[in-house]
Amino acid sequence: MRRLLVVISILLLSVLSASSVAQSEPQPEVDVDCVNVYEAELRAHPEQYEIRAGIECILNNQNAYQVEVETNLEWIYSEDHDEDSTVTVNGNSEIAVRFYLWVTEDAPAGIEGMTFEATVIQYAGIRECTDCETTSSSLDLTILEWTTVDLQQTSQSHQGIFGGDWVSEPCSSGVEYGLNATVTVQANHQNANAAVGFSATVVQYIDEREDVRIVDNEEFISKIPDMIRIDAGPGESSDISIAFPLQEYESLSDEIVIIFIVVYGEEYYVTDALQSADIWEYYWDGGDMLKFYFGGCYIGPEAMEYEYEEGSPIIIETSSDNSLIYLIAGVGIALTASLLVVLIVILVRRSGNN
C-alpha cells in the first residue's frame, strides 16, 4: 500500500511540474513602428509621373534571445513587400523592413489605410511559437486627385484652319473661323472641374521679314470666345462650339499670322493661364497641367508654310525668292506652326532686350 501511495505521489508531482513549466513558457513578441519615409502622397495620374511611398517598419526585439518573425502587409493596392520570407532579429536589437506602396489609376482620391503585422514564429533559435501575439503598426496615406481633359475635333468652318501641323490657309476679311469639338473628362474623384479657354496671338512681319512685332488682337479679331466650363463628370463627354470672328480689313503689304489658341484642362489652371500676361509661358513651362490646340491663318501677298520635322532644323520658305531661313530649335517634340511663329517672336524680343 505504501508503495502505491509513493507511486501516486510521484505521478502527481510530475504532472504539476510539467504544468508549471508549460505555464512559464514565454510568448515573445516584437514592437512594430512604421513611417512614411518621405511623407509622400500617392499619385497615379495617367499623364504625369507616378508617385510612390517608401515605407520603413522597425521591428524592435526587447527579448534577450533571437526571434524569427513572420510579417504581413494589409494594403489593397500595389506593393513590393516580400511576405514569403521571414525576418531574424537578434536579442535586444532592431531591424528595418523597407518596401514601396503605390496605387492604380482607378484608385479614388482620399485616404487609404495600411497595416503592417509582425508575428514571432520561432525564438532562441530552436523553439517554435504557435500562439505568440501579433503586433502591428498602421499608417494613413493620401491619394491625390487627378483630372484629365481630352479634346477631339469633330468639325471646323473653313478646312485646314484648326488642328494642322502648319499655318497654310489665307485669312478672309470679316469671316468667322469656327471649331466644333467633343471634350471628354476623366478623374479619380467626383468633383472634376474642367474648362476650355481661348486666346489668340497676332504676329506681323515687317521690313521684308527683317523684324516682327506682336499686334493687338482687336485689330484683327472682333471677339475672343469666352471660357467654357465643361458640364461633365468622370468618364463623361460634352460638345462645344466656338468661333473666332475676324474684323474687316483692307489688303496689306506686310505679312500677318493669326494664331487661334485653345487651352484646356482643370478650370483653375485654364483660368490662371488666360489671366496671365503671357499664355505662352504655360505652353513652355506648364507641364502636363494644361493641353493646347491650335488654329491659324495668314494675311499677306505670299503663301507661307511653317513646318517642323522632329530632330531637324526649322525651315521657313517664301515663294518669292526661295530664300531659306534656318532656325535651330532646342525642343524634341513636334510643334505646330503657331509655336514656330511665337518662338521667332520670343527670340527677337530677347535679342532686342539684350
Q: Are residues 231 and 131 in the same domain?
A: no
pLDDT score recorded for residue 315: 30
Q: Are residues 283 and 181 in the same domain?
A: yes
Q: DSSP letter string over 139-163? A: EEEEEPP-EEEEEEEEEESSTTSBS
pLDDT score recorded for residue 249: 86
DSSP state of 43: B
Q: Are residues 211 and 322 in the same domain?
A: yes
Question: CA 64, 69, 75: angle at the middle one, nearest 5?
Answer: 140
> Does 21 map to a domain?
no
> Does 11 map to a domain?
no
Residue keyed to cell 491650335: 294
Q: Are residues 136 and 151 in the same domain?
A: no
Q: Are residues 200 and 54 in the same domain?
A: no
pLDDT score recorded for residue 351: 45
pLDDT score recorded for residue 307: 41
Of 123, 143, 163, which one is at a domain's C-terminal end? 143
pLDDT score recorded for residue 24: 59
Q: Which domain holds residue 329?
A: 147-353
Q: Are residues 205 and 295 in the same domain?
A: yes
Of 143, 160, 194, which one is at a domain's C-terminal end? 143
> Does 17 map to a domain?
no
The whole-model pTM stands at 0.75
Are 159 and 212 contacting, i.e. CB atoms less than 8 angstroms apart? no
Centre a 10 Å sphere on the Cβ of residue 222 and count the other Cβ atoms it contains: 14
Are 132 and 120 contacting, i.e. CB atoms less than 8 angstroms apart? yes
Average confidence (pLDDT) per 10 residues, the chain, 354 residues: 47 44 72 98 95 98 96 97 94 97 97 98 89 95 97 95 88 95 97 96 79 87 97 96 93 85 96 93 82 92 44 32 30 39 47 47
pLDDT score recorded for residue 201: 93
pLDDT score recorded for residue 72: 97
Supply φ then ψ for residue 124, to 5 degrees.
60, 20
Q: For residues 59 and 87, what is the distance between their CA atoms, to the nearest angstrom?
A: 9
Q: For residues 354 and 340, what is the distance between their CA atoms, to the nearest angstrom?
A: 21
Tally of domains in the chain = 2
pLDDT score recorded for residue 167: 84
Which CA distances in Å does 349 have to 50, 127, 346? 37, 80, 5
Kindly give the residue spans of alpha helices, DSSP state H, lying in the chain: 2-23, 267-275, 280-285, 337-353
Q: Are residues 139 and 163 in the same domain?
A: no
Q: Are residues 153 and 135 in the same domain?
A: no
> Does 172 map to a domain?
yes
> Does 301 map to a domain?
yes
Q: What is the CATH number of the domain that holds 126?
A: 2.60.40.10
Of 106, 128, 143, which one is at a domain's C-terminal end? 143
> Does 338 map to a domain?
yes
> Does 339 map to a domain?
yes
pLDDT score recorded for residue 208: 63
Q: Are residues 186 and 279 in the same domain?
A: yes
Q: For residues 259 and 88, what is the distance between their CA atoms, to the nearest angstrom?
A: 67
> Does 194 map to a domain?
yes
Q: Are residues 225 and 260 in the same domain?
A: yes
Centre a 10 Å sphere on the Cβ of residue 151 and count the other Cβ atoms it contains: 20
DSSP state of 247: P
Q: Are residues 105 and 244 in the same domain?
A: no
Q: DSSP letter string over 182-224? A: EEEEEESSS---EEEEEEEEEEEEETTTTEEEEEPGGGTBS-P
Q: Are residues 137 and 190 in the same domain?
A: no
